[in-house]
Amino acid sequence: MRKLIMWNVITLDGYFEGNQHWDLSFHNVVWGQELEKLSIEQMNAADYLVFGRVTYEGMAAYWTKEEGVIADLMNSIPKLVCSRTLKSAEWNNSTLIRENASAEIKRLKEAGGKDMYVFGSANLSETFINDNLFDEYRIGIAPVILGSGRSLFRQGNAPKNLSLVSTQQLVTGGVVLKYSKNED
């Protein structure tokens, strides 16, 4: 069975972006050769990248103008964009899921293959958390206290007990934590 994996970088105080969309300056603090290597490994292990509308639009605007190994992977990997409001998904290899994203992701998980990764996409991730679809949570912690912003995990999510898979200390001072869901 294919796994659905969350990948996000957050601050020590739990924010995945600042007070404005795409306020991600703390990513520069934690980024380095280790996260670049991890990013390439994750994308090479992926059949799909899964995005909500806001993240999809931001990623498409950024990565279609970039060059290099990561840009090549981001632009070539099939992408699923879950949105009821988008009319089309123009970024290379993108498919629009307009209704019942959880059912479609569940179907794709059961079909097997390489993994699917959700980057950013807090609203969509909240849906997938509550529908118990994530198999693994990979969280990079930037050594930054932001003080305010948008939390990745909002109040009201269904409680989940997780098992620690691994930790990786980064030379930048960050940490990558990998958790798997406990089978119910």
pLDDT value at 155 more than 80 = no
pLDDT, tens only, 82-140 = 999 999 999 999 999 999 999 999 999 999 999 999 998 988 999 999 999 999 999 99
Considering its fold, how many domains does the chain have in total? 1
Compute the average pLDDT of residues 54-73: 95
pLDDT, tens only, 27-60 = 999 999 999 999 999 999 999 999 999 999 999 9
pLDDT value at 158 more than 80 = no
The enclosing domain of 150 has a CATH number of 3.40.430.10
pLDDT value at 184 more than 70 = no
pLDDT value at 156 more than 90 = no
Cβ-defined contacts of 32-38 (< 8 Å, 24+): 32/170, 32/171, 32/172, 33/171, 34/168, 34/170, 34/171, 34/172, 35/140, 35/170, 35/172, 35/174, 35/176, 36/70, 38/168, 38/176
Residue 132's pLDDT is what?
Answer: 93
The whole domain housing 87 covers 4-181
